[in-house]
Structure 1
Amino acid sequence: MPTPPPDLIQLTRAQVLQALRQLDAVGPRMPLSTVYDLVYKSRRYAPRAVAQLAYRLALGQPDAVWPLPAGAPTNQVLEKLSFTIATKRPTLENSPLLDGDVAAQEQMQELYTGPVPATPPAPVRRPVAEAPPAPAEVQEPLAHYAAPEPYAKPQALAELFMPEEKLDAALAALRRRRNLILQGPPGTGKTFLARRLAWLELGATDARRLELVQFHPSYSYEDFVQGFRPDGQGQFQLQNGILLNFCQRAAQDLERPYFLLIDELNRGNVARIFGELLLLLEADKRGPAHAVRLPYAPAGSPPFFVPENVHLIGTMNLADRSLAPLDYALRRRFAFVNLEPEFGAPLQQFLAAQGVPEAVVTRLTARLSDLNQTIADDPELGPDFYIGHSYFCQPPTNPAEASAWLQLILEQEIAPLLADYWLDQPAKAAQQRKKLLS
């Protein structure tokens, strides 16, 4: 019997949501597919397993077989129902459950961790439980940029508070070094800009070629590159980290760029987390010719390399005194772009376009500009401790509420910073707070 095209597979979003609830109700979620994940409310599922269960629920036949193969045919059906399909996080070849394109799984696994055994373990399937009744109406807001949309410089300039010359310079640095760090005080839009730089290079808001990770003090080499971690059976298995999974995806699509965004890069122990990246990040050290052996890799497995189409964009908060600066060996692998607060014409025009009254805009920009000048003049603080404009980028929709909105931000978000900035000078902190709120 010929396979019907994806357009003829009749599934509704409500049926797929019902399948997701049933998978959660049965117990631990099914292991992720090697090639694709369906991402919903921060949880991940094997797309074909979800489609299979939704199809059975739709037909009322517990033995019905989903007629489409894994991969693009199944993903197209789910994406048309506004579900997000991500290409990441492979399962190990000895996982008790496998889903998706097995040939592609084995090919990606072999690229970095050696060939899989000739006979993989037989799949194990959970019995389909009785489906709970579906709600009469399903309402879920769709995420902004959920589906890839074209993205170009005019859109970026409309969203960013920076001149075109500085945006061009940041793009040129990213293309030249392939590794870029956006650094500046808190609230200057570093992560916001990082995502849009990637979109400009991709030409679209394509989440499938973009990965975001945040470093923190507990983050390790085993999380980022490769290491032994416990599985669901209480045993330790060698598992690839985010970097290896991301590089595997990029290596299958060398004609197009891929972007790994690292938020709060200097909040982790960067030298320890990066490991071999100290060498492989350099623009002229990409590709198989510069591959190195990973310390956890099994004997005989292929060495690891960073594909030429992988780009890294990191963000660094300069105001946190608890963070150590990057060492020089890592620093010279990146180009750096400094970001500063913008309380001039771009922010004023943006707030005016949002309906914020002119008097409120004038008060906001005057108070914050004066406060930042005081911070810059303090020898123990300086420009790294500026207050950024991002605090004020979401004004209320009702112009009558703008004055109260500004006052709340100044009292609840900005004023507490002043007590920390001048911890040893409480009189000065109180003075600056009074000027800010008066």
Structure 2
Amino acid sequence: MPIPDFDPTQLTREQVLRALRQMDREGPRMPLSTVYDLVYRGRRYAPRAVAKLAYQLAIGQPDAAWPLPAGAATNRVLEQLDFTIATKRPTLANSPLDGDVAAQEAMQALYTGRETVPKQPKQAVKPEADAVSEPAFAYSMPPSQPYQRAQALQELFISEARLGAALSALRRRHNLILQGPPGTGKTFLARRLAWLELGATDAARVELVQFHPSYSYEDFVQGFRPDAQGTFRLQDGVLLDFCRRAAQEPEHPYFLLIDELNRGNLSRIFGELLLLLEADKRGPAHAVRLPYAPADAPRFFVPENVFFIGTMNLADRSLAPLDYALRRRFAFVEMTPEFGPPLQEYLTEKGVPAAVVKRLTQRLTDLNQTITDDPDLGANFQVGHSYFCAPPAAPAAAEEWLTLILEQEIAPLLDEYWLDQPARATAQKKKLLAR
């Protein structure tokens, strides 16, 4: 018997597993427009397709429509049932192994020529007279200048209330993540939050690192790395050096900014820092022994005056969702595109003609609404305002400036967003670029 008014959030894990077994029997194919994958026992499935089939099986109606949109709403239902949702990975075109993660990785290695090559015996290398080292750059840190909230509000396109909320979260948790679509000023805001807490643009107490897929624990915390003579020795990473400096000035806050936080393998990069990140686990009383450190070495702790501010781009399809163990240790602030009065006033002050400002804000507002309403994209894929924060000095060049950004930077994004719907991408580009 069909179940009337069945709430999709009432799906059970067994119902989803039943859908997965049926899809395996029928030979599932991943649609090109899928942004996320459900990963189960080494295979990948389209989350919305899985949820839809499980829903149909649960209510006994094979033609029933899944009532939730793709993306966060559907993913949340499946994640609550302990299923893993990851961003879509590339697969070999027309491969019979499409969806099988392990087999795809093996095929990908052969396809790209990265198969294992037997190691050759090492040849004796004649030592050089001078050790090889990176060239030294002659520069000095910019001088520290006072920085107050009034100045921040002039530079940021957010309200005073939202700025105050972000500062309160940072003070409360010591760990803050600014997340949102690309081009929404996340890194720009992160640095200014640090300056506001310091009361000055103090570069000595603010450190910026950027995570990426090759970034590792050895880079961030500690590990064996080659020195200038080519010898591997134990070296401290960015975090240990930064915490050591902070511990010497406990009365001053120190800020470690982590750009593109979710582009790295966070569990591997952070290691035992996952414990020490918590605001109540700071200081010598919670020190831990580092895996690479000698037994008699001092134990490591995160000083109480260290603050972490990370930024997360939610639109990159190559990124995995943030680990929940790490997520609960941060406060989160959503960043959104700001094409309202603050940006319009800023552009007007820079001499951009009113007609150009109107065209820019209307076109981007309409485009972002279209992206938000698309069930395969959503609000995380909106276009941010940072693309338009550096207008030309001459007002006469503003029209060409806007046209070039729309053609060369925004339009290619639309081709990527609607990769399997070229007609729709073309239609949106025409609307965006119309005079």
Distance 1:233 1:348 in 2: 55
CA deviation after TM superposition for structure 1 residue 43, in Å: 3.9
Match of 1:184 among 180, 184, 190: 180
Answering whether residue 329 of structure 2 is matched by residue 333 of structure 1, we say yes
Distance 1:297 1:190 in 2: 35
Alignment of 1:126-275 (within 5 A): 146-275=142-271
Q: Tell me what 1:361 maps to.
A: 357
CA deviation after TM superposition for structure 1 residue 234, in Å: 1.6
Alignment of 1:288-307 (within 5 A): 288-307=284-303
Q: Secondary structure at the match of 1:158?
A: helix
1:301-357 Cα offsets, whole Å, 9 max, x none, are 111000000000000000001100111110011000000000000000000000000
Distance 1:249 1:315 in 2: 23
The change in CA–CA distance for 1:29 and 1:259 in structure 2 (over 3 A counts) is farther
Distance 1:28 1:213 in 2: 27
When the two structures are aligned, how many residues end up with a matched partner?
A: 306
Answering whether residue 312 of structure 2 is matched by residue 316 of structure 1, we say yes
Answering whether residue 424 of structure 2 is matched by residue 428 of structure 1, we say yes
Q: Tell me what 1:418 maps to.
A: 414
Q: Tell me what 2:140 maps to.
A: 84
Distance 2:389 2:130 in 1: 42
Q: Tell me what 2:277 maps to.
A: 281
Distance 2:323 2:356 in 1: 44
Q: Secondary structure at the match of 1:147?
A: coil
Q: Does the aligned pair in 1 maintain the 2:246–2:305 contact within 8 Å?
A: yes
CA deviation after TM superposition for structure 1 residue 84, in Å: 1.8
CA deviation after TM superposition for structure 1 residue 429, in Å: 0.4
Q: Secondary structure at the match of 2:414?
A: helix
Letter in 2 for 1:179: N
Letter in 2 for 1:259: F
Q: Tell me what 2:402 maps to.
A: 406
Answering whether residue 378 of structure 2 is matched by residue 389 of structure 1, we say no
CA deviation after TM superposition for structure 1 residue 29, in Å: 8.6
Letter in 2 for 1:168: G
Alignment TM-score, normalising by the size of structure 2: 0.69
Kindly report the root-mean-square deviation, in angstroms, between the aligned alpha carbons of the 2 structures.
Answer: 1.5
Alignment TM-score, normalising by the size of structure 1: 0.68
Distance 2:368 2:291 in 1: 47
1:224-275 Cα offsets, whole Å, 9 max, x none, are 0000001111211100000000000000000000000000000000111000
Distance 2:322 2:383 in 1: 23
Letter in 2 for 1:401: A
Letter in 2 for 1:359: A
Distance 1:379 1:275 in 2: 36
Structure 2 unaligned blocks of 5 or more = 1-128
Q: Secondary structure at the match of 2:386?
A: helix
Letter in 2 for 1:241: G
Letter in 2 for 1:84: S
Q: Secondary structure at the match of 1:410?
A: helix
Q: Does the aligned pair in 1 maintain the 2:261–2:312 contact within 8 Å?
A: yes
Letter in 1 for 2:349: A
Distance 1:164 1:433 in 2: 35
Distance 1:314 1:267 in 2: 11
Q: Does the aligned pair in 1 maintain the 2:338–2:385 contact within 8 Å?
A: yes
Q: Secondary structure at the match of 1:297?
A: coil
Letter in 1 for 2:403: Q
Kindly, what percent of the aligned residue pairs are identical?
A: 74
Letter in 1 for 2:172: R
Distance 1:164 1:43 in 2: 42
Letter in 2 for 1:160: L
1:382-427 Cα offsets, whole Å, 9 max, x none, are 0000000000000000000000000000000000000100011111
CA deviation after TM superposition for structure 1 residue 360, in Å: 0.2
Distance 1:389 1:292 in 2: 43
Which is worse superposed, 168-177 or 230-239?
230-239
Distance 1:322 1:232 in 2: 34
TM superposition outliers: structure 1 runs of 4+ over 2 Å:
26-31, 42-45
CA deviation after TM superposition for structure 1 residue 299, in Å: 1.8
Structure 1 unaligned blocks of 5 or more = 1-25, 32-41, 46-82, 86-145
Distance 1:327 1:204 in 2: 34
Distance 1:224 1:377 in 2: 39
Distance 2:165 2:295 in 1: 44
Q: Secondary structure at the match of 1:395?
A: coil
